[in-house]
Each structure stands twice: as C-alpha cells, then as structure tokens.
Amino acid sequence: MDSEDRYYYDYTPTVYEVFEYCVFPSINGILPTLKNLIIINFLFNVSIQSRLISETTYNGLSILLGFLLLFFTLPELSILCIVGFICLTYVFLLTICKIQKHRRLNLEYLTGFVCAIVLVICEFGFNSDTWIQLRGFFMIACMKIISFTSDLQRGEEYRSVLFFGYILCPANCLFGPWVSVGEYKTLYKNPGKKNFNWATRIICSLLNAVFFLTLSNCWGTYFIPDGSFKWFEAYRQALSFRSSHYFISYLSETSMIIAGFNNKKNEQKKGHWSYEITHPLDIEIPSSLVSVVISWNIPMHNFLKYYVYRTYLKYGRFRAIFITYFISSLLHGFNVEVAAVLLTIGIYSYVQLVVQDKISSVFDSCLKVRHCKNCKHKFTRKDIRVKLVRCLFSLLTIFHSIYLGVLMDAVGDPNRESFYEKWSNLNFLSHWVMLVTYIFGII
Amino acid sequence: MDMEFSVVLVVSLFVAIGSTNEVVIRKGRGKGSMWWGIAMAGEPNNISPLKPGLSYMDPSVHGTLRKKQRRLARENPGVLDAIAKGANMAIHECQYQFRNRRWNCSTKNFLRGKNLFGKIVDRGCRETAFIYAITSAAVTHAIARACSEGSIDTCNCEYSHHKSRPRMYSSSRGSVPGVREWEWGGCSDNIGFGVEFAREFVDTGERGRSLREKMNLHNNEAGRMHVQSQMRQECKCHGMSGSCTVKTCWMRLPSFRIIGDNLKDRFDGASRVMASNAGNSRTNHAHNNRRKEPSSNDLLSSNSIHSKRERKPRRNKHGFQLKPYNPDHKPPGSKDLVYFEPSPGFCERNTKLGIPGTHGRHCNDTSIGVDGCDLMCCGRGYRTEVIEAVERCLCTFHWCCEVKCDLCRTKKTVHRCL
C-alpha cells in the first residue's frame, strides 16, 4: 500500500474536484437534517404566530415537534434513552419539590449532581458511537435542567408541561444553543413581527453555516494539503475543528431565528432580528484567550456566568472559577481531550491575565487583557507601539489556539491519537512558551 | 496529425478490413471487448450523429454491445454515456502513458470492438493486459463519477436514515476496501456501484475457461481494484463541542491520471502466467447461468497442491488462481497485471499483428530511454526537421481575471524516425 499512499498524498485535487467530491457530498449529507430542522421550526413559528393556540398547546407542540426532530435525526434506540432521561429527571424534580415543601433543600446542587452522574455514566457506560451522537442533546438538556431548577429555587412557579416543552424545544434541542426558561416563555408571549430582516438573517446564517461546513470538510485540505509543514497541518486541523463549531453555531442560529427567538438586546430596536452564538472573527484573530472563551459560544458562556459562576461566587472567586471549569468539562461529557483543553485554557488565560497586567504596569501602557476604560496610562491604545505589542499577543494567542484545537479535531474518533501523542508531535511548544511568558511575567 | 502517420493509419485500416476473415476464425477471442467501440459512438464521423444522450437502441451502440450489456444499459438509464466517457478516458490515458513507448496505444477510428486498439488485443501480451485493465478501470471511474453527479438514476442517494445508520468513522483508511464496506451519509456508495456495474458489464463474454479469458478477467478486476483502492471516503462529525449530531462524508476520488500511473507501474512489473492446475471450479456469478462443462482441470485439481489455494482467502473474485510462469515468483496479486505471451516487436510494421511500427514517430535525440531516438527508431536512424511553432508567450495577468498573451514564433527542432 505504500506506493499507493504516496500517490494519493502527492495528488492535489482541482477546485472542480473539490466541489464535486467534497463540497456537494458534504452539503448533500446535511440536507436531510437541514430540511427537517427548517420545516419543523417553521411549523413551530407559524403556529405561534397564528396566535390561536393556548400556552398548554404551545408547550405540547414544542414537545411534539422537538420529538419529531430528534426522531428524524438520531437513531431509534437513542430516542428511548432520551425519553427515559427526561422522564427520570422529571420524576426526580417532582420528588425533590415535594420534599422541599417540608425541608429546605438546595435544588441546584442536587440536579447538578444528578446530571453529572448521568453524563459520567453515559460517557463510560455507553457504546461510544451512540453516545457521541447523543451527547449534544444531553449537554443542552443538562444545561436547561440546571437553569430550570435554579429558577425554581429562586421561587419561580412553573408547570410540568413547560418543563418538557422547554427541554424538547425544536429550535435548540439538537444543536443548541442553551436558552433560559424566560426566553422560551417570551417566544410564546411575544413572538415578534417577522419581516424582511428576519428572512435575510435566516438566509445569511444558513449561508454562513454552509460556508463553514465546506471550510471544515474541504477547503482546509485543499489549501494545506497532507504532508505540509507540521504546524500548518496542525493549524488546518484546528481550523477544521473551529469551523465545524461555527457551522453548528450558525445552524443553530438559523433554527433559532426561524422559530422566532430574538436577542434580548433587540427589544428596543423594532423589527431587528439576530441571535448571535459565536463570533468567528474574535476567535480567528483573538486579542487574548479570554476573548476566545467568551466568543466561542455566547449563550453557553452566559449560562456558566449566571447559573454556575454567580451561584458559587459566595465560596470565593478561585473556587467559583474552579467549579465553573469543572461543570463546564462535565457538560462536555468529561472527555479527556475536552478536559485537557479546558484546563489548559483556564491556566493560559490566568497566565495571560497576570503577564499582561504586569507588562501594562511596567511600561505604563494600555496592554491589559480587558480594555481599561478610564485609561490613565502613558501610552494609550492609539499608540503604534501598543498596537504592535497587541498584535504580538494576538499572534501568540493564535499559536496557542492551534495547539489547543489540534486535540479537539478528532474527538469521538476511536482511532485517534492520544492527546499526549498529539502534543508531543508539536514538542509541547505551547507549554514551553507559556512557561517562559509566565516566568517573564513574575520577574 | 502528420501526413505520414495518417498514411500509416489508412494502410493499417485497409489491412484491418482485409483481415476480417481471420477475425472470424478467432471468434472466441476478445468477445467481451466489443463495447470499446462505444468510445467512438458519439463521434460525428460515425454512423450516428452526435447526440446528447446515447441510447442502447442506437445502431452504432447496438452493434457493439452484447445481449447482457444491452440489458444492463436498458435497466440503468444514463449508464451508456458514462461508459462512452470512460472508454474515451481510457484511450486518452493509454495514449498518454505510452506516448514515449514504441507501442503508443494507437487506436483506429471507425472500426469497432476489439479492433479499436488494433489486433494487438488478439495476443496475450502485456499491452493487451494494460488495455483491458485501463478500460475496466475507466468504466468504474466514469460510472462512480456519473453516480456522484446524479446522472444515473439507479445509484442515486437515498435519504432514508432508517435503512442504515452510517458508521461513525470509516475504516477504509489504508485498507483495501471491500465492495460494501462503506456507506456514506445515508447515501448509496457510488464506487461500489461502479465496481459492481463494471464487473457485470465489462466481464461479460469472458467465461473464465481458457487462460486467455482468465487473463482478461484478472486484468479487468485489477483495473477496478486500482480505482477502488484509490477512492477514499472521509467523514467528519459535527455537533456541540465534538459530539456527533450530524456526520458528513465526502469522497476523495483520485484523478484518472493517478490510476493510469499506477497501472503503468503494474505494466512494467506485470507477471507472466501459465495455465494453472487449480481449475475454474467456481465461476463468476455473472456467468453462473451458463452450464459448466466439466474440464480435465477440475479432475486434476483434487490431487494437486494448488487445490489448497481454493480455501485461501487470497483468490480473486472469479475463483481461480493464476500460476506464475517462473515458479520462483509469487502468484500475481489482485492488483497485478498478468500476461502469458511475450510482446511482439513494435519496431516494424506488421500487418498480421496490426502493428503500425515506429516509422515517423517523434523521438528525443538526447534521451537514452525508450523515447530516445536510438531505441524508438530501432536503429533505423532519424530525420531532423526545424519547424516554426506559434505559441502563446509573455503572458500577463490583469486584475481581475484575465490573462493576456502575445503570440510568439519559435523555431523548434523535431526528430522523426525513418
């Protein structure tokens, strides 16, 4: 096979062939899912918009359509798991609510704990092929359940049908994003007027989704063929993973807007539609790792901020950060790669924060990770030298993100290399660089 | 096309017409290869005018196809265009691969069937092996391609996810993929269809009894295996943070040039075989409707050491194992080309074998290889001419997107064999 492999790798396809064998089959591959997603969410939207249905029917419809979407996309067997999971959590919620009437319980910790147990059992007990297909749904469902109980704890009164409707909402049960119960209820109460802007937003996000899909599947390999310099290949792998994430984000944005979800900030602006989930530019050209983390998945970031970080803030900042990290990796299925990446990101962002604070005070210039609002530094952000240094930081962050993204590209592939192998292929360079910057920052 | 060559062509055409009697005598040979003529079916100088879609009823097509091939074409609309494309692709690739050889894979324009490549096909030499392999490979490639373009209805994509769950990651990486090893994204597998179809279509008429037919079957299969092993499916999962909510798959079909290159390599290392004692106890399913005649080989096989090979997995699709001519050599693998006769000399014109000879061929006076004038002209010497060629030169790129060139006249020296 050696000679064949050599031939295969030496061959660079033409643009036409990339289209024929990669772009079109890739789009073909998502068409059935896309079709279901669009039709079901459109039906959902139309029935809300008609204003003929009661709130109970709205929830019922959400359950039905969400269930249909799952049924069309996931294998039959896993539907049973999903039903079992939702029913179990429902029974669990009912029980603890009953108990809570007599005794004060801390609902958040309990549900968080239960979700964690379920996820860990699934991660290690399930057939990995099935689990990896279901994980997306379970992640979103767990986030929703945690935020739901958190709102219950704060004294909100919810009906049981709302719980099911919220979990199975067709706009976000499959590809995310996480939405709060409040947003879900607002969709019924105030569906918003659909206009031209609504339609263009849908088309835009759909086109974005398709673009990032083909970037992830096809164009990476076209521009950086196999056998290139290893850091270029690593960049391609990381880019492939990132654009796959953008694809999913834009896909979920499409489904959200079709269903009629609108960003809260658009309440004032009448007739304006958007639901931002990710900011590819902030991730591709990051100013620091913190901006990558925030822009990666904005709704999830909000969830972690409001429902996890703020809840645990009373135990101190460091512990809250640690718990947030822990829950975030739990939600990602406690996968080794994900945990490693998240931990590294945590450490790196801390180091960047310390180092940039130090540099900022030493050179009396605006170089902190966060924009300093009332800048009293000698060198402001407009200074060319400051700009240059910021560019340098950006490049460093891109370098780190290559290193981190390499791990994520093949999550779920049973034949993947271990993360140790992958990082040792790149000589652990990023870790060394980080160590050097840290030492530099301490001095 | 230069004058001399066309003269040679015309001469050899007359020769070919004159020798039809001989063809009748050798009736049993090359029956399965009549379909090659389909390559010329769309040509305007042929009996039928150029049409967008070929029909199996088309007289120019009808004559070249066997009954089973016509049935296949009828049952799979759109397939004939792909086969014609494939046949043309095979001719071009063959001529490209052999442009610097004494035998340059020349074809004849209006005579169909095996005579498309001349009577070299009647022999059992390396060149014949290559022709069979490259045509079979080209049909597989063209059918797979037509499937992915959606121009063949019987292999289109089925979007029912209930039928089969796509597998998580393709295991075809690096392994020789079995015909039904991959399924992609709920879509039927085009290359599998291409291989199956080519097997049915191309192998018709080779009953696998005589050594010659075994050789053809083996080379046809080798051609298909080259296409199949070069075609890869790659899949990628998409979902929240590395989960796999949707999986997309795509193909990496190599250009036909790569298959041509690989087959050319196999041509250079082709293995010479002889009749094996292990008989054809199993025949291809494409031919199993024919009654098997008991052969003396079958009786012998029970006693021979080669009968053990019967149970070995490493047998080809048609259930026979060819024995190497040189007992020290390994038996040919599924991707090797096989032949049983040494090649004739291609230097001089040979009307009996339909060889035009190398008279008037271009050669390279500085090369010491086969394309060099010494070897190409077989020591007859060569003539040097200076011709004036008009070429595009000094091209500049204008934004956007235009390339402007000047026409330059350059003097070129060409060498031709006497």
Q: What residues does each domain of chain A span?
A: 29-191, 197-267, 279-442
Looking at the structure, do residues B216 and B273 belong to the same domain, yes or no?
Answer: yes
Interface confidence (ipTM) of the complex:
0.80
Amino acid letter at B344? Answer: P
Q: Is the pLDDT of residue A381 over 80?
A: no
CATH code where residue B407 lies: 3.30.2460.20
pLDDT tens track for A249-277: 999 999 999 998 888 877 777 778 889 89
Number of separate domains in chain B:
2
Last residue of a domain, one of B298, B330, B349: B349
Note whether residue B240 is domain-resident. Answer: yes
Handedness of CA A15, B147, B196, B111 (dihedral sign): negative
Do B70 and B106 reside in the same domain of the chain? yes
CB-based burial of residue A153 (10 Å sphere; 0-12 exposed, 13-18 middle, 19+ buried)?
Answer: middle
Instruction: Kindly list the distances between the CA atom of residue A312 and the CA atoms of A107, A318, A331, in Å, as whole numbers in the listed order.
Output: 14, 10, 17
How many CB atoms within 10 Å of residue B140? 30
Are residue B100 and residue B130 in the same domain, yes or no? yes
Tell me, yes or no, if A182 comes closer than 8 A to chain B by beta carbon: no
Question: Is residue B305 a part of any domain in this protein?
Answer: no
Rounded-to-integer distance, Cα B129 and Cα B326, Å: 18
Question: Is A125 exposed, middle or buried (CB count within 10 Å of its CB: 0-12, 13-18, 19+)?
Answer: exposed
How far apart, in whole angstroms, are the C-alpha atoms of residue A344 and residue A431? 9
Q: Following DSSP, what letter does each residue of B99-148 receive, concatenated?
A: TTSSS-----SS--GGGGG-GGGGS-SHHHHHHHHHHHHHHHHHHHHHHH
Asked whether residue B343 falls in the same domain as residue B231, the answer is yes
Structural domain boundaries, residue B399? 358-417
Mean confidence (pLDDT) of chain A: 82
**In degrees, to the nearest 5, what angle opens at C-alpha A106 toward C-alphas A105 and A107?**
100
Inform me whether the C-beta atom of residue A175 falls under 8 Å from chain B C-beta atoms.
yes
B400-407 long-range Cβ contacts below 8 angstroms, 24+ apart: none
Q: What is the pLDDT of residue B296?
A: 35
Residues B365 and B402 reside in one and the same domain: yes
Per-residue pLDDT of chain B (418 residues; tens, 9 = 90+): 444 444 444 444 443 433 333 333 344 444 556 777 776 665 444 434 444 456 656 666 666 777 888 888 888 888 888 888 888 888 888 888 888 888 888 876 544 444 677 777 778 888 889 999 999 999 888 888 777 666 777 775 432 222 333 333 333 333 333 333 333 333 446 777 888 888 888 888 777 678 888 888 889 999 988 888 877 667 788 887 667 888 887 776 667 888 888 899 889 888 888 876 544 433 333 333 333 333 333 333 333 333 333 333 344 555 667 788 888 888 888 888 988 888 888 888 877 777 878 888 888 888 887 888 888 888 888 888 888 888 777 777 676 666 777 888 888 888 888 8
Copy the structure tokens of residue A28: 């073909």
Query: Which residues of chain B approach chain A closer than 8 Å at the C-beta?
Result: 145, 148-149, 157, 159, 161-162, 165, 167-169, 174, 176, 184-187, 229-230, 232, 236-255, 258, 261-262, 265
To the nearest whole Å, the CA of B224 is away from the closest chain A CA by 14
Report the alpha-carbon distance of residue A190 to residue A192 in Å, rounded: 6
In a domain, residue B287? The reply is no
- Last residue of some domain: B349, B369, B388? B349
Q: Residue A7 and residue B232: Cβ atoms within 8 Å? A: no
What is the per-residue pLDDT for B177?
A: 33
Interface probe for B, chosen from A6, A129, A133 (most Cβ of B below 10 Å), is A133
Give CA–CA dist B418/B416, Å, rounded: 6
Which of B330, B349, B368 is a domain's end point? B349
Residue B107 lies in a domain: yes
- B127 plus B195 within the same structural domain: yes
Residue B131 lies in a domain: yes
Same domain, B326 and B412: no
User: Residue B25 domain-assigned?
Assistant: no
- Name the β-bridge partners of B236: B248
**Is some CB atom of chain B closer than 8 A to the CB atom of A218?**
yes
Inside any domain, residue B314: no
User: Which residues, numbered 251 to 270 in chain A, qualify as contacts with chain B under a Cβ-Cβ cut-off of 8 Å?
Assistant: none
* Least confident residue range of A133-137, A238-242, B403-407, B410-414: B403-407
- Domain assignment present for B123: yes
Report the DSSP beta bridge partners of residue B274: B323
Looking at the structure, tell me whether residues B275 and B344 fall in a common domain.
Answer: yes
